[in-house]
Amino acid sequence: MTKIEWSDDLSVGIDLLDNQHRKLISMINVLDDDAMGAEELGEVIFGLLEYAAIHFRDEEKFFVDEAPEIVEHHFASHTIFISTAYKFVQRFKNGEALALRQPVYEFLCQWLVEHILVEDMQYKPGNKNHAAE
């Protein structure tokens, strides 16, 4: 598996959200450890879900304040993420822990990078689509 590397291309120009995205990337990259056992994997998955909830809350507050016209669409994206994540949690609880490491990692990498580059970038200060300007 290839780790996600933070770069300026992923920066949305909002310190709170950039710092949270960096932390999410760091947490996701932990899944790249082949020696990770089922208990450790569970801790990472549940920790990621908890932190994602904090990030989504902060991001949604920002968008309500800065770009209320797109809030519904952005919230829907978060809902899709949560729905998929909880399917993984159910599989984890059903004893599929170690078989989930790679699919969870791939889902998280793809979702987060795409979410930042496609959806979150719309609100980057200086972007022609940024609603606050």
- Position 22 scores a pLDDT of 95
- At 92-121, the pLDDT tens digits run 889 888 888 888 888 888 888 888 888 888
- Whether residue 17 contacts residue 62, with contact meaning beta carbons closer than 8 Å, is answered with yes
Residue 127's pLDDT is 67
How many helices (H) and strands (E) the chain has is answered by 4, 0
Return d(Cα 16, Cα 96) in angstroms, integer.
35
pTM for the whole structure:
0.82
Query: What type of residue is 113?
Result: V
The pLDDT value recorded for residue 1 is: 60
The Cβ-side half-sphere exposure at 105, using a 13 Å CA radius, reads: 19
- CA torsion, points 87, 29, 1, 78, in degrees to nearest 10? 40
Predicted pLDDT of residue 41: 86
Say how many C-beta atoms besides its own lie within 10 A of residue 93's C-beta.
10
Q: Which domains does the chain have, with CATH numbers?
A: 12-123 (1.20.120.50)
Over residues 62-66, mean pLDDT:
82
Average predicted confidence (pLDDT) for the chain: 85
Q: Does residue 5 register a pLDDT over 80?
A: yes
Q: Is 70 exceeded by the pLDDT of residue 131? A: no
Is residue 122 within 8 A of residue 129, CB to CB? The reply is yes
Q: What is the pLDDT of residue 132?
A: 45
Per-residue pLDDT band at 20 (split at 50, 70, 90): very high
